[in-house]
């Protein structure tokens, strides 16, 4: 597979300027050029700063504070789904492995139901994040069901009983409500950092 060919700064600036105009904004071409051609070897700058510089260069006059989340998506039990090494990542890895087996002429194991369910749940969690009316207990129940299904699929035949999704839900939801499952992280730096850069 050939390596992607880089695009020239002028092409990128032109495309972003056109996008800005179509959005009813007025881009600053020189500021765009400075952000896009940023030389990290000359002056180190956090990626967050570069992103906010890009937004401003596109002509966005005001950057608001972060919106409140409807539920703590980065805490357990939701982190079982949204964490970079959570169940959807495992499901995608298994699918990639199956494709490789097929290419090698082998017959792969069939896709497990929990794999497609966990990927769909991950998408739903992110799509629901800013909906204040979201049914959080229902989401926790679905996490418990997917986790139980994943656990049942990976039983090693040693006679262990499959996890009861109802009991798992009760444990996960109770721990989420009372804060014992995973306490709030006072160092939620990503959102704090974004709020410090808010301009209105």
Share of the chain above pLDDT 90, in %: 26
Q: How far apart are CA 195 and CA 200, in angstroms?
A: 10
Q: How far apart are CA 67 and CA 80, in angstroms?
A: 23
Based on its alpha-carbon atoms, the radius of gyration of the chain, rounded to whole angstroms, reads 23
Q: How far apart are CA 133 and CA 9, in angstroms?
A: 44
Q: What is the dihedral of CA 30, 36, 37, 38, to 10 degrees?
A: 100
Res 9: pLDDT: 87
Res 16: pLDDT: 92
Mean pLDDT of 89-107: 88
pLDDT reading at 48 higher than 90:
no
Res 66: pLDDT: 84
pLDDT confidence of 169, banded at 50, 70, 90?
A: low
Res 157: pLDDT: 43
pLDDT confidence of 121, banded at 50, 70, 90?
A: very high
Query: What's the half-sphere exposure (Cβ side, CA atoms, 13 Å) at 171?
Result: 11
The most confident of 16-25, 58-67, 70-79, 183-192, by mean pLDDT: 16-25
Work out whether the CA dihedral 82, 83, 87, 88 comes out positive or negative.
Answer: positive
Q: How far apart are CA 106 and CA 128, in angstroms?
A: 39
pLDDT reading at 90 higher than 70:
yes
Computed over every residue of the chain, the mean pLDDT equals: 80
What is the value of pTM for the model shown?
A: 0.64
Res 123: pLDDT: 95
Res 177: pLDDT: 62
Q: What are phi and psi of 69, to 5 degrees?
A: -80, 150
């Amino acid at each position: 597979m050939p390596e992607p060919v880089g695009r020239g700064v002028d092409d990128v600036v032109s495309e972003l300027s056109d996008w800005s105009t179509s959005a009813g904004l007025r881009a600053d071409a020189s500021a765009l050029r400075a952000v896009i051609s940023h030389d990290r070897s000359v002056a180190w700058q956090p990626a967050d700063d570069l992103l906010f510089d890009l937004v401003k260069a596109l002509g966005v006059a005001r950057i608001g504070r972060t919106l409140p989340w409807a539920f703590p998506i980065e805490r357990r039990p939701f982190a079982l789904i949204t964490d970079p090494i959570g169940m959807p990542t495992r499901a995608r890895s298994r699918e990639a492995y199956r494709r490789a087996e097929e290419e090698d002429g082998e017959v792969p194991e069939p896709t497990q139901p929990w794999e497609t369910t966990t990927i769909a749940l991950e998408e739903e969690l992110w799509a629901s994040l800013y909906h204040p009316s979201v049914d959080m207990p229902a989401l926790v129940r679905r996490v418990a069901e997917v986790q139980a299904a994943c656990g049942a699929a990976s039983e090693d035949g040693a006679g262990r009983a499959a996890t009861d999704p109802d009991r798992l839900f009760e444990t996960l939801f109770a721990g989420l409500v009372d804060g014992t499952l995973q306490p709030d992280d006072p160092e939620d730096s990503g959102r704090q950092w974004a709020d410090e850069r808010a301009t209105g």
